[in-house]
Structure 1
Amino acid sequence: MSSEPIESLFAQLRPDTPGEWALSLSVPADAGHRDELRADGNPEASELAPTWASFFEHIGADGFADLNRRADNLERQIRDNGVTYNVYADASNGLERPWSLDLFPKLIGPQDWAQIEAGVLQRTRLLNAMMADLYGERELLKHALLPAALVQGHPGYLRSMQGVRPPGDTWLHIVGFDLAQGPDGRWWVVGQRTQAPSGLGYLLENRIAIGRQFPKAFAGMRVQRLAASYRALMDGIKRMAPEGENARIALLTPGPYNETYFEHAYLARYLGLTLVEGSDLTVRDQRLFLKTLSGLEPVHALIKRLDDEWLDPLELRSDSRLGVPGLLQVLRAGNLLLANAPGSAPLESSALLGFLPAISRHLLGEELSLPSLDTWWCGEDAALREVLPLLKDSVIKPTYPRSGLDTVMGQSLGERELDEWSGRMARHPENYTVQSWLPLSQTPTWSGERLMPRSAMLRVFALADGPLSWRVLPGGMVRLAPRGQLIAAMQRGGSSADCWVLTDGPVDHTSLLQSAPSTLSLAQQKRPVTSRAAENLFWLGRYTERAENSVRLAQIVLNHMGGEEPNSRALMAWLSNMARENALVLPDVPTATLSARVFARSLIAALSPAAGDALAAQSFSVGFNLRALKAAAAQVRERLSQEHWNLIERTEASFARDCAALSTDAEYATAEAIAALQNASELLAAITGSQTDRMVRDDGWRLLSMGRHIERLITLARALSLALEHGCVHDQAGFEAVVALFDSTITFHAQYQQRRDMVALIDLLVMDRDNPRSLAWVVHTLRSRLAKLSHSATPQDAVLARGLPNPDTWVLTDLSNWQRNADGQRAWSDLAALLDGCEIAAVDLSDEITRLHFSHADQSNQSLGA
């Protein structure tokens, strides 16, 4: 962005006050829409609304020239924090984009908020009472206050929940309401989300990001804080959970390919919860357990971030693995608090809104203080006849989920299309709900040059803070429609804004970071390492090491094959074999001994082929390892620092770009490939630094470290074994190549100067306890990690350590002895046996760790239903 247009306008207009400057840079709201920037919402007003006048006064005149810099800082902060929204996320394509956040917040004054708060609390009580009735006495159906087709005919109505009474009689712990403000300033309810409403994590990130851009305005305008509401939610769940204050609470996510996975991880970290997927949980004796390294640990409360139909494959969607088999059984037994309780999908149907006024009078004895937009369910003949002539000025919505229907704006339809929709609705009226169209209030946004109005929707949240008690989070997630569009939806290219609720009273300064647990409960506060997280951390370590090894090997191969010095046949054979075994080239590529040029070109082509390239499906080279590294990290993103995750993303992306830009000229391509590998090597060094120095030394980190060292032991033992087999250690170039693959060149020459004999090689690469690339150091480290893991995991880890070779028994003189074989070549039989033993032991250790800690194959606990 450039600030020149702002400076140019300012030079021309010379406004006296920040308010005049704001008006001079603003574009009025569209006709028929409320203009939030201007007094009384009037687009023709010559004065600012009081809230916006205050905002710009706090920014000051100098602040306007600084808006583009703040916008750039905001964009950089969102990118650096890795805030993403996966648009129709796909595991193969990774369709994610940075979260789109506007620079200006939406401002809501105390009077407007008081109206919203009262109305939302009333509606939350009403929806909770409806849940109790629909799965209890069903008075609403008996008195025909609600059509049976909208309840028992709804695919989300769960008969298996009939007669269930949730803890504290609270069915709904988190409810989201989508609100819109009309041209006259009145607030209307457009929809409600009760199964797993999204936004609680994103609005936190929005608040932190925008608060940093306008700290003076945030403090001076008395913006109400959010933390107290989140704390009240957690305290309320603990009070109602079966175990009370000692309850273990987890947050259930569908996984990293869900559209809003970022906020799942963000929210879990903020609230101090364990982020779990369905595979992390299991049911035993009608109780829910978390699979951890130390066995099964009970879970007493679960905040779910997936819709009800995916919760339990035994009773709901049998084709899904997202949920937990037997979860509803645990719920019916009263051994779990599930927020929100399953079965609320019918409450989300737009068709329900038209029936709520009468239901409120029946259940609460109250009129709704916050109205819904006029809504007609077309399953009623009278409603269908009334609404068909109104389609042009209405919104057509699906009544039931998974109907294949999208929301359609009547204004976007021509006469012929309106007739077609009328015909569809007449044939299947129950599938359609029609809602009156409301011109959305337009809030000012920053375009880089001007204040541009954009239509806005506000999602606010009611959070349970105790049995049958709720509070409204003083803020919300604002969705902005793209300029010129009528629907504010993130999936349709919309963006978001922060929401500042202004207060006349005291500002709550509660922070979730202030309270420290007592000394006695510190052990209970430690985050458990789930088996899934442990497995992904283990493979994160393996793929980090594998990526480093493949990068180093590819560098060595290309440097030798593109160098000026002639290479021995033994070296070429060793490099060919190593490259093939480490999947740097395809199996059918001729060896380097036949054609070094062809071999090098094949290796370069396979480094990181584009997704559409036919070679990509066959290639498992450096690019594949970096993608696998990123995939493993994505599964445990909540355990990684933002810097660590950014490094992993940047390494994979930059290497793919470098490879895509390689020259078609073989001579230049080799030099460019070596440069790309060097860049990747430097970034990988930063990743390993983050893993080594910036992660807590818990059992998850120990497994990550063990994954790295198992991979290192397998690779280096095999590399040295092949080097002996091919005899390349007997010439200078081959000797140096082996030392380079062990990443020990500088250490070797500093310690042994120009010696190039096997005793020195074995001493440094096999025996040296101070060299982190020697086999003895790696084995010793693995034994140490297993010993520490055994304190919190299983005693069998100590047994696993005894399966590793013992470096204390290794003798340099024995390993250095050699004999002539039948071909007259020197053979180090003791060393070869040791290398084979190290490789086999590392593979066996990997298998045993998987059996003990990841699959729990030895668990003898009774399964569900026992």
Structure 2
Amino acid sequence: MNLSSALMDNQANTMSSNTAFTYPSPQAGVDEAYDTEGGIRPHWRYLLHSLQTLGHDAIEERQKKARRILRDDGATYKIYDEPDANQSWQLNPIPLLIHSDEWSSIETALVERAELFNLLLQDIYGERNLIRRGVIPPELLFSHQGFLRPCQHIKLPGAQQLIVHGADLVRAQDGQMRVMADRTQAPSGAGYALENRTVMNRVFPSLFRDSHVHRLSLFFSRLRQRLQDLNPNGGVARIVVLTPGIYNEAYFEHAYLANYLGFQLVQGGDLSVRNGYVWMKALDGLKRVDVILRRVDDVYCDPVELKGDSRLGVPGLLEVARLGHVAIANPLGSSVLENPALLRYLPAVAQALLGRDLQMPSVKTWWCGNSDDLEYVCSNLKSLLIKPTYRRPGLYEVYGADLDDKKLQAWQNRIRKNPLQFAAQEYVAGAQTPTWHQGQIQPRASVLRTFAVASESSYAVMPGGLTRVNLDPDKKIISNQRGSVSKDTWVLASEPEKQISLRTLDMQSSTEGSSALPSRVVENLFWMGRYAERAESAMRLLRTVFIQLNKTEKLPDAVCRTLLSAVTHVTATYPGFTSLQPELFKNPEPEMITIILDSRRLGSVANNLTAMIEAAEQVKEQLSSDTQRVINDIGDELEQLKLALEPSSLSAPEEALAPLITTLLAFAGLIHESMTRGNGWHFMEMGRRLERALQIINTLRSLLATEFGEIEQETLIESSLLCSEALIPYRRRYQNGIHLEQALEMLMLNRKNPRSLIYQLNELEHHFSDLPDDREILSSEHKLLLEATTALKLSDIGALVKTHNGIRTELDQLLSRLQYLMTQVAKAIGQRYFDHTEGPQLLVKNAEWQEQL
């Protein structure tokens, strides 16, 4: 950086004087911040001095701010072996620094490595000259489950077949970088690196700006442009990001990249193969897909030719790729390059394909398929990293030094039984890097994953990447699945860098309309609206019942039973109060609290809100950051409600519900004010309006269909108005007291009341009219809605309030008919728009044969 030597020396002296906040000098090994003479490296001085100037409290506050931002962004990472662990993405506030001079040589070496792996991929699925010439043994390739014979001779447009290459780098004891592993199938981490950078830029804006950090946007601009160039079909490319779904560990990254790059996020069920092309099933018909940026492991991508029991892929996808009608990045079959045993032969491969040695060597590797290597590995297991040649869930690398003698022997037996399936590497601890932990700057070992993307003639490397460290110094393997935390990686320039926008002038903008949403997306938006409304209506009714039960005057038994039975009917939490158990009515609060908090009980508030949050997770790429923040708040309020409604602290339970109701109102308002009026918005609003209509119908039928005495009836009418936030407007409009006719008019037929029944039906009519439909006749759901609206408009309030044998027969029959019609409307919407037909599957499902695949 452009800091004077005097300033650097002054900063170094200042750090030395404050030993309580000084980064300790290394006792052994190599350190990122200290040189071999024990002095702070020049490019680290400004950062460490700035952190010292900030002090403990400020850094802690910035770390809390970073956690809030990550949480609000919905940044998560799932650890498969610990399903109950915190899934929030973890970012340490101290970045890893690399000077631009060193980065220049790293970048050159990574470009060379990406080019080599690109040539290697082409040879493996081409002529296989490396095997013919004896450079690599045939067993190395043919024994690997990532080698997919059906992918032979499939080629992408252009010279680069490997579109994105990832490399895990570690600094060895000599201070030089080594490559620990290559990621070529669907390299993850680039999106997390971008999220880390965004957060750090917000948390340390001045420090980031003054450090002259190389920006990441150009890498993603090149990625987007490269994917556009892969389009095999001409015109404006429709590019999608194929994700396994919300249960994948890196689902956040999939949604984040799709949003940032402007692509549609899809799952396998959203795509279909027809007439030799891949199509996305959208509301207004099939949309041809030209390029797929896949985040699904290759063997799961096509259940017809690859893994027959896969539900993550697209049946027939491989045949379309073979025809050249869709480009898949990275290409299917590229996981074979992730075989760690390849590193053992990489020097010879480099000589054969490039004619020279690699500038950046790999960590020393042995393959147990080689007899000499097998004996060495078995004799030295205690000091080696043991790696399976094919990564799969539940089978991870282990460090021999972490194993006792019994486990070492078990591993040796396992390796000798299947030597082709295992490799071993020299253990390299990695350089220590300054890390914020327990209120101090402490040294922790680090590894760096960075990425290269294919460009017109070669590859471009991301200036930085995803750094990972273990906060626990006793953990030797650094991996996100082992609980490591991330760091931003700053490549420091000597002067400010010109900012690069994601949208370059030569990019062609997509003209795709908002209707091009997969049916899965609109279904989740539809149910997201329904679950939110269902939870809100339940809480409004529960709050009203709490208020009535806690009045000074005791409610008549008949009114009490009607209100409590309405809770069960409206929430459908049967049998509940409909069981007529005397003890439930004597002490109703425990049952009501269960209806609120028991997430395992269908119909409960917690169950509906959990379902809503899960639906939101499925479509998080469609939601703004503010919407995501409010959804997080809903989850937080639900947790707070559990504390507020504990028996020991139970007081005024109706007040405890208010914050959660308010948050749900904020969610509804944000959707209404901020969401683009596309098909996604229409379906979310349709879900809300449909569910609100059903809730109004159920509430009125439960409370008002039975005749009571004047005082009791007035209480039930007041409760109905309270549930619908209509009591105050009612009193302003009708000043002659509470009467049933006027209440029914307000709740059923007042078109200006946004919580009336007719208002919901009119809104549904508007949404139906705005949906894509090229048919001249009305759809089935439209006909059902028209019937419901007509029946409601033709109703006579005077006739509805008349009773027969204590029942308002016409009111009950009308509401019953409307309930049936609205339920049928929901079914018709699902049948028409949410298509779940299953595509072709592999006929032969022999378990042994599948394992060989």
**TM-score normalised by structure 1 residue count:** 0.89
Q: Deviations over 1:657-687 (max 9, x none)?
A: 433563446xx64x35433322321221112
Contact 1:395/1:434 (8 A) holds in 2: yes
Name the counterpart of 1:450: 440
**Shift of the alpha carbon at 1:24?**
6.6
Contact 1:542/1:708 (8 A) holds in 2: yes
Moved more, 576-585 or 704-713: 576-585
Moved more, 593-602 or 155-164: 593-602
Q: Superposition pairs for residues 221-370 of structure 1, below 5 Å?
A: 221-244=211-234, 246-370=236-360
Q: How has the CA–CA distance of structure 1 residues 739 and 378 changed in structure 2, closer, same or farther, with 3 Å as cutoff?
A: same
Name the counterpart of 2:466: 477
Amino acid at match of 1:739: L
Q: Distance in 1 between matches of 2:344 and 2:779?
A: 65
Amino acid at match of 1:624: N
Name the counterpart of 2:729: 747
Amino acid at match of 1:142: R
Contact 1:39/1:50 (8 A) holds in 2: no
Name the counterpart of 1:843: 823
Q: How has the CA–CA distance of structure 1 residues 391 and 28 changed in structure 2, closer, same or farther, with 3 Å as cutoff?
A: farther
Whether 1:772 aligns to 2:754 is yes
Name the counterpart of 1:647: 630
**Shift of the alpha carbon at 1:244?**
4.3
Contact 1:728/1:734 (8 A) holds in 2: no
SS at match of 1:769: coil
Q: How has the CA–CA distance of structure 1 residues 813 and 264 changed in structure 2, closer, same or farther, with 3 Å as cutoff?
A: closer
Q: Deviations over 1:257-287 (max 9, x none)?
A: 1111111111111111111111111111121
Q: Deviations over 1:103-162 (max 9, x none)?
A: 111111123212211111111111111111111111122222222222111112111111
**Shift of the alpha carbon at 1:812?**
8.0
Whether 1:704 aligns to 2:689 is no
Moved more, 173-182 or 405-414: 405-414
Amino acid at match of 1:658: L
Moved more, 733-742 or 419-428: 419-428
Name the counterpart of 1:605: 594
1:783 paired residue among 765, 786, 789 = 765
Q: Distance in 2 between matches of 1:806 and 1:617?
A: 34
SS at match of 2:815: helix
Amino acid at match of 2:435: T
SS at match of 1:486: coil
Whether 1:37 aligns to 2:18 is no
SS at match of 1:511: coil
Q: Deviations over 1:817-866 (max 9, x none)?
A: 2586652x46362x445433432222122112112211177x9x99999x
Name the counterpart of 1:84: 76
Q: How has the CA–CA distance of structure 1 residues 562 and 414 changed in structure 2, closer, same or farther, with 3 Å as cutoff?
A: same
Q: Distance in 1 between matches of 2:54 and 2:568?
A: 63
Q: How has the CA–CA distance of structure 1 residues 22 and 64 changed in structure 2, closer, same or farther, with 3 Å as cutoff?
A: farther
Name the counterpart of 2:797: 815
Amino acid at match of 1:842: M
Q: Distance in 2 between matches of 1:404 and 1:775?
A: 53
Q: How has the CA–CA distance of structure 1 residues 606 and 660 changed in structure 2, closer, same or farther, with 3 Å as cutoff?
A: farther
Q: Deviations over 1:604-626 (max 9, x none)?
A: 233213xxxxxx64453111111
Name the counterpart of 1:530: 518
Q: Deviations over 1:336-362 (max 9, x none)?
A: 110100112221111110111111111
Name the counterpart of 2:544: 556
Moved more, 530-539 or 440-449: 440-449
Q: How has the CA–CA distance of structure 1 residues 514 and 231 changed in structure 2, closer, same or farther, with 3 Å as cutoff?
A: closer
Name the counterpart of 1:197: 187
SS at match of 1:290: strand
Contact 1:574/1:726 (8 A) holds in 2: no
Q: How has the CA–CA distance of structure 1 residues 854 and 603 changed in structure 2, closer, same or farther, with 3 Å as cutoff?
A: same
Name the counterpart of 2:529: 541
Q: Distance in 2 between matches of 1:550 and 1:193?
A: 49
Whether 1:154 aligns to 2:144 is yes
Runs of 5+ unmatched residues, structure 2: 1-9, 844-853
Q: Deviations over 1:316-344 (max 9, x none)?
A: 22222111111111111111110100112
Name the counterpart of 1:382: 372
Q: Distance in 2 between matches of 1:401 and 1:729?
A: 73
Q: Distance in 2 between matches of 1:503 and 1:403?
A: 40
1:633 paired residue among 616, 620, 623 = 616
Contact 1:285/1:864 (8 A) holds in 2: no
Moved more, 737-746 or 545-554: 737-746
Amino acid at match of 2:198: I
Q: Distance in 2 between matches of 1:24 and 1:602?
A: 56
Identity of aligned residues (%): 33
Q: How has the CA–CA distance of structure 1 residues 552 and 592 changed in structure 2, closer, same or farther, with 3 Å as cutoff?
A: farther
Contact 1:189/1:372 (8 A) holds in 2: yes
Q: How has the CA–CA distance of structure 1 residues 826 and 766 changed in structure 2, closer, same or farther, with 3 Å as cutoff?
A: same
SS at match of 1:48: coil
Whether 1:624 aligns to 2:607 is yes
1:73 paired residue among 47, 53, 65 = 65
**Shift of the alpha carbon at 1:692?**
1.6
Whether 1:680 aligns to 2:626 is no
Aligned length: 829
Q: Distance in 2 between matches of 1:240 and 1:729?
A: 76
Q: How has the CA–CA distance of structure 1 residues 862 and 664 changed in structure 2, closer, same or farther, with 3 Å as cutoff?
A: closer
Q: How has the CA–CA distance of structure 1 residues 21 and 53 changed in structure 2, closer, same or farther, with 3 Å as cutoff?
A: farther
Q: Deviations over 1:637-656 (max 9, x none)?
A: 11112232232233234324
SS at match of 1:803: helix
**Shift of the alpha carbon at 1:60?**
7.9
Contact 2:524/2:615 (8 A) holds in 1: yes
**Shift of the alpha carbon at 1:454?**
0.7
Q: How has the CA–CA distance of structure 1 residues 333 and 863 changed in structure 2, closer, same or farther, with 3 Å as cutoff?
A: farther
Whether 1:491 aligns to 2:487 is no
**Shift of the alpha carbon at 1:498?**
0.6
Whether 1:726 aligns to 2:706 is yes
